[in-house]
């Protein structure tokens, strides 16, 4: 069974930092691009960052450019999202995602709350 498990979320003050982790199992994740999405209450899920199988990355959300960085450690089947200078509007559930051809897998999500 292909699974993604996120961790690292929590409560942080504005201006603080968090690093999210996503550990995959059940397939060779190094062959595929992986992404981080987020969803705030009452809003649609949005794509934040994507990293390719060869390490190229894209910030899709303009609001996080210069603050969030995606990376991966293929030896550990792990993808990271380093989040710096966090703002209250970053509060959301963050999800890890992978698509293998036409098959998709989502993690269960990890809550990030930015508040003073």
Residue 61 or residue 35, greater confidence: 35
Average pLDDT over residues 3-14: 98
Q: What is the mean pLDDT of the chain?
A: 95
Structure tokens at 76: 């550990």
Confidence at residue 55, expressed as pLDDT on a 0 to 100 scale? 84
74-101 mean pLDDT: 96
The mean pLDDT value for 93-116 works out to: 96
Contact 85, 13 (CB under 8 A): no
């Amino acid at each position: 069974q292909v699974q993604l498990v996120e961790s690292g979320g929590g409560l942080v003050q504005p201006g603080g930092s968090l690093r999210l982790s996503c550990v995959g199992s059940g397939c060779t994740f190094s062959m595929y691009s992986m992404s981080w999405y987020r969803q705030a209450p009452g809003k649609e899920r949005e794509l934040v960052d994507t990293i390719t199988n060869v390490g190229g990355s894209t910030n899709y959300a303009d609001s996080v450019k210069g603050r969030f960085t995606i990376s991966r450690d293929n030896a550990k089947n792990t993808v990271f999202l380093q989040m710096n200078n966090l703002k209250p509007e970053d509060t959301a559930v963050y999800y890890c995602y992978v698509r293998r051809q036409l098959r998709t897998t989502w993690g269960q999500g990890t809550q990030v709350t930015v508040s003073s």
